[in-house]
Structure 1
Amino acid sequence: MAADLKVVLAALLKDISERSSCENLAEAKAILSATRAENIYNVSKDLDLSPLFSCSSKFNGSTLDELSELLGKLLDAFPPSALLSAHKQHFVTALNTSDGALKAVVLRQLIRCSKDNAMLSQLARDHRILESVLRLLGGEDLWSSKQSAILLKQMTREKEVLSAMLHPPVSHVLDSVMDGGDVCRFRVFEVFVEVARASPENLERLSESGYLERLVKEMDKNDVLVQLNALEVLTDLVSCSHGLDYLERTGIISKLRQKALNIGSDPLGNFLGPGVLKFFGSMGVTSPQRLLLDYPQVLGFIFDSVQSDDPAFQVVAAETVGIISSTIQGKRVLQSHGDQMSRYLKTLSQNLHSGKVDFKVRYLGALANVLHVQDSSCEDLVNLTERWYSLLGDRPTDMLLRLCRQPFPELRCATLAVITEVARVPWGQATLAAQPGFLEYLLDRSTEADKPCKEAKFAVVATLAQVQPRGFSAEDWQRIRTTYQEGPFYMASEAAVTFEGLS
């Protein structure tokens, strides 16, 4: 088979080069699909693949796509070390062509190389590749831009790459990309924030370079869309402790606090409000204590926003409380706001009884965070979540089961995610065991037809099966265990047919 592949590939490469023909393409693809990777490499490493890298000047449409796919499969067989040594120049050239399919192949291979530490060092030393990737980051092809961002984040794990990006000549290319408009500028900011989050050292270097300061100053511009983009990127930065420290030093958190408190009187408040909420929600996950102690008015603003007359703003505020409550420290901070949490949970319950389905899904996501307990041995948190669950109303489990029977898969999945959290803790297990019809519903596989819903329901089964749940009889627990052992996609009819065929 390897010998056949070599003959066919050699003929194909010759035809492409000399006759602008690819008559053997179908045969090459067929043999390639039946050949092991090591054999593909042993054949390909001795062939000149240049014609496949330059075929965009001779072919177009589906033929060009098929040739690019063929090249990708050949390169996939190369070990990263051999790939760079054999094709680095081809890669540099390809990244600067207009052939989108070829660029996609090369970017995928470079991402593969960047995950290999030894190859990462080689990539770091070649500024031609780095400059080409930066140009793609600012290009019109959205897919290439996204892949370039992924590659840059990988490459900057090597300190030499970050250093090169921040100094000439590479920094000139970077500045040129940022001068390409708001979209290009924020693509660069997104990469830099991801790099800064990776370590305090990276953040310090980016701070010294002035690029992070430029990001912070975007919030001073009059363009509301620019401010929204800046808020989104800053929300990522505040999600790590050293990012939070940096943003406090710059004074931007104090400015955002003021924006939060003035949203009612700010003409742009309706636009900026959700972004401000998400920013402080991210901060509340990073350091709930600092949010409570240093910015108590902001926490009040978040709770007040849950009672907003604007449904879209209200659901973002509810999600923000949910995000803050997803951590142990976040729950303990919110515990000290008992009255506000009581109002919050009652509002959550009311909105789960009425409103748009997509909003209900988001409220359920917030509730799942509120009820999540990572370690059920933390007795105080287990008791806290039980109290919070009771604040949802007289019969919260009835409400959840009604939602589970609604004809909307995304709503059922979100509800089952909440029930999974309830099933993790002893009080929740006892509550579910005492709920009329719950076990029958749980073990009835006919209620779900979609794969995500089957998996969501099975998550509840798996949670109960892996502990000795409180409140369930030994017989009922065995039924749960049996369902768990059968897996999420078991079909009793299949088992019956198989058994009948054997009899």
Structure 2
Amino acid sequence: MAEPPGVEAALALLGRVSRMEEPLEELRALKVALQALPPAALRERGPEFPLAGLFALMGRGDSEQISLCVIILERFLQVMDPLYVIQHFGEELQKGLFHPDDEVKILTISQVGRIVEDPDAVREILITPELLRQVIYCIAAEKIAVAKEAIKSLTKVAEAPEGLEVLLVGNLLVDLKKVMAKSDIVRYRVYELVIGIASMSADSLNYCVNSGLISELIAELTGNDVLVRATCIETVTSLAHTHHGRQYLAQQGVIDKISNIIIGADADPFSGFYLPGFVKFFGNLVIVDSPQQICERYPAFVEKVFGMAEGQDPTLFGVGVDTLGILGSNLEGKLVLQKKGSRFQSVLNRIGHQAKNAPTELRIRCLDAIASLLYLPLDQQTEDLLGMTESWFSSLASHPLELFRSISTQPFPDLHCGALRVFTAIANQPWAQRLMIASPGFVEYIVDRSVEPDKPSKEAKYELVKALAGSKTVAEIFGNQHYLRLRAYLREGPYYVKAVATTAVEGAE
């Protein structure tokens, strides 16, 4: 097999730069040469490339020299076997973690991440954990990109059972706790790491619980510092996404404590700092668990969501609307809301008003919540449920179809698409189709491609057409002519452009 062009040139350049005091020109040339080489060529000849000189050059020189060395080394190391990298460059990687340049640290930590994913290479790190110790201290780096790379690599370490043991039992756990003491920000980063590990499995969670770090997090969550509460709830919420995490939080009484804090929030003038996060916590529980059981067991959550949607604080209103959209996204949640009767109808009217009059970002959130609340899959369309969604739609405004139609014609893509999503949500429901056909020019608007100026708008309109065309009742309600236009639109796809003219070609048949 012929040698790919440029490999020998790269080898020669690499040999030269290692011996030079002023290697910038050669480094630039080497970077260009490597970019032209396919990864397979580098992988095949990888062990022949003498990288020690590059590591040495990366340890000195100006920022351009360091940056070039990082780019070149990353290209080489990425195609090398992780076991080879740790065996031949373990010492250089460790030095990289002490380097003052953040690019070097990120390169080094990303290589550690590669190494710990390899079942053979990870053992090399675990038997000499000094490298991992330095990665732990990188969690405290000033640059967030370095800290995030460190958290990512350490999370990968914990994916191996032996890595979990090394990281959360013994000396490295001591190092983790030392790093936590550096500042509040760093402490929350360690909590993020620990919860990320705990979310992997019940076994991982047990290690994290035994480390004592989860208990510390929960103590801060339920403590009196409102700003700490606001920060910790996001981390705890990610643990609640897993079944074993929810079980643990319930068994430890944490969910009850969060509910009690929500109950006491009315008497706390600073509750605005943490209340959105606490309500979002229950919103996430509703997504992964039974909405009815969550709402029955924690009525304070539902009461607070309604209070937010009825109140005047725009931040809390937005969270309330988002949460109602989540709660009503499935049938069980819709029935919970329906039981609220006229109170929910009143909240819907307020959401409809805000969809028309609030600042743009809040209007979009209202439109998304409305679409979520009104959507009803074909297999759930009983007479009672269709009557429910129709009454909800009617509660939004005196003329809701015209309200959303006016929003859909505005020259703001996000609002335009938000209104189209509302139409798409109700498109397969017969009552909505009757409203659409009764609205002058509405069907013409749906099949008019000229009003969709950009890709998201074209795709949103296509989803609406698809929802209508896929309904069993649309042909009867819209009539055959309109139905055929919808089918043609669907067949042509979202980006179809009608040819303006054709050119005759001499001799064409």
TM-score using structure 2 length: 0.86
Decide whether the 8 Å contact of 1:454 with 1:489 is kept in 2.
yes
Equivalent residue number for residue 207 of structure 1: 209
The one of 39, 42, 50 aligned to 2:41 = 39
Equivalent residue number for residue 102 of structure 1: 104
Equivalent residue number for residue 330 of structure 1: 333
Distance 1:214 1:290 in 2: 29
Equivalent residue number for residue 389 of structure 1: 393
After superposition, the Cα gap between the structure-2 partners of 1:319 and 1:127, relative to the gap in structure 1 and judged at 3 Å, is same
Alpha-carbon shift at residue 451 of structure 1 (Å): 3.6
Distance 1:356 1:281 in 2: 24
Unpaired segments ≥5 residues, structure 1: none
Choose 377-386 or 346-355, whichever is displaced more: 377-386
Equivalent residue number for residue 321 of structure 2: 318
The one of 163, 181, 187 aligned to 1:185 = 187
Instruction: State the identity %.
Output: 28
CA RMSD of aligned residues (A): 3.1
Per-residue deviation, residues 55-80 of structure 1 (Å, max 9, x unmatched): 33333334432332232233333355
Decide whether the 8 Å contact of 2:158 with 2:167 is kept in 1.
no
Give 2:218's aligned amino acid. Answer: V
Distance 1:35 1:462 in 2: 46
Give 1:240's aligned amino acid. Answer: T
Q: How does 1:302-451 map to 2 (within 5 A)?
A: 302-373=305-376, 375-380=377-382, 383=386, 384-423=388-427, 428=432, 431-432=435-436, 435-451=439-455
Per-residue deviation, residues 130-169 of structure 1 (Å, max 9, x unmatched): 3233222221110111222233333322222222221111
Decide whether the 8 Å contact of 2:58 with 2:70 is kept in 1.
no
Give 1:361's aligned amino acid. Answer: I
What SS does the corresponding residue of 2:199 show, helix, strand or coil? Answer: helix
Structure showing greater Rg: 2
- The answer to whether structure 1 residue 460 and structure 2 residue 428 are counterparts is no
Equivalent residue number for residue 304 of structure 2: 301
Per-residue deviation, residues 60-113 of structure 1 (Å, max 9, x unmatched): 334432332232233333355655555444433323322222233344444455
Decide whether the 8 Å contact of 2:14 with 2:49 is kept in 1.
no
Distance 2:243 2:122 in 1: 28
Give 1:211's aligned amino acid. Answer: L
After superposition, the Cα gap between the structure-2 partners of 1:16 and 1:256, relative to the gap in structure 1 and judged at 3 Å, is same
Distance 2:485 2:19 in 1: 67
Per-residue deviation, residues 5-59 of structure 1 (Å, max 9, x unmatched): 3323432443244334132334333333332220122233311122333333333
After superposition, the Cα gap between the structure-2 partners of 1:502 and 1:379, relative to the gap in structure 1 and judged at 3 Å, is same
Alpha-carbon shift at residue 401 of structure 1 (Å): 1.9
Alpha-carbon shift at residue 316 of structure 1 (Å): 1.1
Distance 1:501 1:173 in 2: 78
Equivalent residue number for residue 167 of structure 1: 169
Choose 291-300 or 437-446, whichever is displaced more: 437-446
Distance 1:340 1:279 in 2: 23
What SS does the corresponding residue of 1:24 show, helix, strand or coil? Answer: helix
Distance 2:118 2:201 in 1: 20
After superposition, the Cα gap between the structure-2 partners of 1:463 and 1:201, relative to the gap in structure 1 and judged at 3 Å, is farther
Give 1:68's aligned amino acid. Answer: V
Per-residue deviation, residues 354-389 of structure 1 (Å, max 9, x unmatched): 11111111222222332344x531235963444433
Give 2:157's aligned amino acid. Answer: M
Distance 1:213 1:305 in 2: 31
Unpaired segments ≥5 residues, structure 2: none
After superposition, the Cα gap between the structure-2 partners of 1:101 and 1:256, relative to the gap in structure 1 and judged at 3 Å, is same
Decide whether the 8 Å contact of 1:322 with 1:369 is kept in 2.
yes
What SS does the corresponding residue of 2:48 show, helix, strand or coil? Answer: coil
How many residues end up aligned between the 2 structures? 499
- The answer to whether structure 1 residue 136 and structure 2 residue 145 are counterparts is no
Decide whether the 8 Å contact of 2:285 with 2:294 is kept in 1.
yes
Alpha-carbon shift at residue 184 of structure 1 (Å): 0.8
The one of 69, 72, 76 aligned to 2:71 = 69
Alpha-carbon shift at residue 215 of structure 1 (Å): 0.6
Equivalent residue number for residue 148 of structure 1: 150
Choose 296-305 or 445-454, whichever is displaced more: 445-454
After superposition, the Cα gap between the structure-2 partners of 1:366 and 1:44, relative to the gap in structure 1 and judged at 3 Å, is same
Per-residue deviation, residues 380-417 of structure 1 (Å, max 9, x unmatched): 59634444333323432222221122232222233333
Alpha-carbon shift at residue 189 of structure 1 (Å): 1.1
Alpha-carbon shift at residue 233 of structure 1 (Å): 1.6
Decide whether the 8 Å contact of 1:346 with 1:392 is kept in 2.
yes
Per-residue deviation, residues 448-495 of structure 1 (Å, max 9, x unmatched): 444433433343344445666724455544544444455444444xx5
